[in-house]
A and B are shown apart, each in its own frame.
Chain A
Amino acid sequence: MKTGERIRVRVAFGLLGIVPVFLTGWLGWVQVAQAGELRREGGAPLRLVPATADRQAWREERVPTPRGTIVDRDGSLLAIDRETYDVRATLAVPASEGKRVEALRAWIDAVANDFARALVADPGFSSRGDMLRERQAEFRKLLHGALRTAELPAQGEVPAAHPRFTDVRIAGGVDSLAVIEALRAVGAARSSVTMHFLRTFRRDYPEREATAGLVGHVKTDWVSDPATQVQRLETWGVCGLEALAALTPADADARPFLRDGRGNAYFVGPLQPLPVPNVLHSTIDIELQREADRLLGEEAEAVSHNGESTRPAWGALVLVEMATGDVLAATSWLRDRKSKVGQAFAPYQSLYEPGSIVKPLVLAYALEAGRLDWNHEFDCAPGSADYRERIGSLGSRVVRDDHACGVLSAHGILVNSSNIGATYVGLQLEREQWQDYMRFFGFGRSLGLALPHEALGGPNKRSFDGDIPLRSFRRNSAISFSFGYEMQVNALQMARAYLRLYRGGDAELRLCRGVEIGGQWHAAPPARSGGARLRPEVVDAVHAALVDVVSDDPHATGTHLHRRFLTDTGVDLHGVVAGKTGTAASRIGIRGRGRVEVRNASFVGVLPAEAPRWLVVCVLQKDDDARFYGGSYAAPPAVRLLLRCQELEQRRPRHEEPQRSTNGQVRAAQGSPGVSGWGY
């Protein structure tokens, strides 16, 4: 090797040797000279500790937790969390576009157009042209506002201090693949735009119209953390099943990702299992619920078909399984309301004077209390000696029957629905017994189902005032209570009262059968037992009368119903359905109309008559004085629903309570597990 070559090689290797010397010097500078922390321009010093290294090496993706799933008694979805994206974009104006105002504005318009086109990318959208124009205008306003172009002159240089970086929310609840892919393409095509797709959930109600009143709804709003005063979006259940604690989501989880030195996430980082949503099993049978909805609507609309009558103001139809108190269906009909969502829900929000359907309850209570001899015969003729002695002697109040009744036993009083006969029995009860009657059957008491704006009703506020003389109470309240006046109920309360007639004073309705939390099945507390019950012979006597109400006896109030079904369907309801009709005329205050006369047609029925399993209550209220009877209008949809219930029971396998965990999945639809309780 020549001397010159040797020198060149030594220089080359010398230069190479400088590299480790430099690295060693740099390491000494960082680790020794600046030991402890690293000063940063415009930021707090960076502490050189392992936690800092970990923090810089990991990135977290926020994983919101779902509220949970609500299913009907057979696993059909009533409410579910559906994954969507909340899309944000980080915009950094490219250096070439950020020099001149004209170029900056043009760049912003182009980006706004890209976003607008992406959001209308789904070919399934209607009026895409109009949507595109609206979106373009929205995004231009948003982006120009975010980059404060209004502060810039029409043309010229962009000041160096003008912001060239912003973060904006593009859209929420994005769930269409075409739109998502178009938005991702915007990020891929423009290096100056970084798209962020934040996972979130949207609450969906597949059977919203049919179940709005029972399932309830959620509300999302900004709330302030009392400790930090930081505002955050929170969703909570306002009412109905949504308000139950089992559906309160846990705090949002976080899923870590490794990230490299440039801050890019490694998507091969360890993934944590996503949270399993809770599943709330309701008592609702969606098939019966839809049927109830249809039957009630058809009946209410049919009322106006005779040309002289108007449609009812509202109606309610309730179906209950008697062994458990499960509400299988509860539906509402409101005149001139196209959608049920956000409207009053008649089964527990609309009060009415029940009229004659309380007579079986009154007679059952009197019989249980020893104030009635079931075989005693009462002369129910208006001018009879019995009438003069028992009612006429109290004053001038007149009690009338819809049709003339003669001598009737307690059984006959119920079959004929005699107001005079019921009054004879009611007058046998003391004031305290009437109070106990109200308490036993739950009138004026909450259903305890956390339902929104539940109307409690009950007897008039002054009915039991101690300063009302006993004679006055007997002449007014006791007589009115005997055939369902001077008190108000809702349809579900009436269903509970009849449930208590058959099952005892502790019987309650229920809407929730149980919940699956973390994959574990927790049954709802069983219905209480051991409370006061009517004696079996009392229940049997009343029930026998209810069976004969729906018969071909010309004086029975259910004879019209019996005849109609026999003619229309060939079904002889006598001995199949037991029930009681009710018709009441009341004066109530209606906003804008003052006090108007309304008529309440109601029906309560059970099936099968020989061993009742299902209980139905139907009520329709008309706000005019047209003839409107429970047996003619409220009974047909109620009985059809009972028959439909029996038909479904025979067709479907008997429903059973889940015995083991289903791991949070919707049981009815088997398939690959989803991340939010989806079974498909």
Chain B
Amino acid sequence: MRWLLAGLLFALAVALAIGTVAIRAGNAALRFRVENSYHAIQDRIVELRRLSLEQAQAAVPESLARSMWAHVRAEAQRRLESLQ
């Protein structure tokens, strides 16, 4: 009987060791995913700032006027070509 108990305890120890390693590995994988998410969010904040400024600059009257004239010219050119 006592050998059986000893064996069971040994099996339990092995199972605990394997379980612990598995949990630690799971934690490591989760940390890696969290780290990647953290980086991804930070990276997108950086991108967001850049795009925000670019868009804000594109929305000043001078830029909008330039953009509008470019569209008008393109449209005029298109109509001219369609007439020819």
Q: How far is the CA of A567 from the CA of B76 in the complex (A)?
A: 34
A residues within 8 A CB of B35?
A: 265, 267
- Hey, what's the 0/1 contact readout for B35-59 against A, CB within 8 Å counting as 1? 1001100111111011011001100
Nearest CB in chain B: distance from A112 CB, A: 23
Q: How far is the CA of A321 from the CA of B54 in the complex (A)?
A: 31
Q: How far is the CA of A85 from the CA of B49 in the complex (A)?
A: 12
Whether A222 sits at the interface, judged by CB under 8 Å, is no
B residues within 8 A CB of A680?
A: 52
Whether B34 sits at the interface, judged by CB under 8 Å, is yes
A82 touches B50 (CB 8 A): yes
A residues within 8 A CB of B61?
A: 290
A180 touches B34 (CB 8 A): no
Instruction: List A residues 173-187 near B (Cβ within 8 Å).
Output: 174-177, 180-181, 184
Nearest CB in chain B: distance from A121 CB, A: 13
B3 touches A82 (CB 8 A): no
- Hey, what's the 0/1 contact readout for A486-525 against B, CB within 8 Å counting as 1? 0000000000000000000000000000000000000000
Whether B62 sits at the interface, judged by CB under 8 Å, is yes
Whether A154 sits at the interface, judged by CB under 8 Å, is no
B31 touches A85 (CB 8 A): no
Whether B5 sits at the interface, judged by CB under 8 Å, is no
A184 touches B39 (CB 8 A): yes
- Hey, what's the 0/1 contact readout for A135-165 against B, CB within 8 Å counting as 1? 0000000000000000000000000000000
Instruction: List A residues 1-35 near B (Cβ within 8 Å).
Output: 1, 9, 13, 16
- The chain B residue sitting closest to A197, CB to CB, is B39
A177 touches B47 (CB 8 A): yes
B residues within 8 A CB of A176?
A: 47, 50
Dominant secondary structure of chain A at its interface with chain B: mixed
Q: How far is the CA of A9 from the CA of B42 in the complex (A)?
A: 57
B34 touches A267 (CB 8 A): yes
A290 touches B62 (CB 8 A): yes
Whether A83 sits at the interface, judged by CB under 8 Å, is yes
Whether A243 sits at the interface, judged by CB under 8 Å, is no
Pick the residue among B3, B10, B31, B60 that contacts A266 (CB under 8 A): B31
Whether A268 sits at the interface, judged by CB under 8 Å, is yes
A177 touches B46 (CB 8 A): yes
Nearest CB in chain B: distance from A276 CB, A: 16
Whether A204 sits at the interface, judged by CB under 8 Å, is yes
- Hey, what's the 0/1 contact readout for B7-33 against A, CB within 8 Å counting as 1? 000100000000000000000000100
Q: How far is the CA of A199 from the CA of B38 in the complex (A)?
A: 13
Q: How far is the CA of A227 from the CA of B3 in the complex (A)?
A: 71
With contacts A267-B31, A267-B34, A267-B38 taken as known, whether A206 is within 8 angstroms of B53 at the C-beta atoms is yes
- The chain A residue sitting closest to B13, CB to CB, is A16
Q: How far is the CA of A180 from the CA of B46 in the complex (A)?
A: 10
Instruction: List A residues 209-241 near B (Cβ within 8 Å).
Output: none
5 extra interface residue pairs, beta carbon distance < 8 Å, beyond A9-B3, A676-B49 = A175-B47, A176-B50, A181-B43, A184-B39, A674-B45
Which residues of B pack against A, CB within 8 Å?
3, 6, 10, 31, 34-35, 38-39, 42-47, 49-50, 52-53, 56-57, 60-62
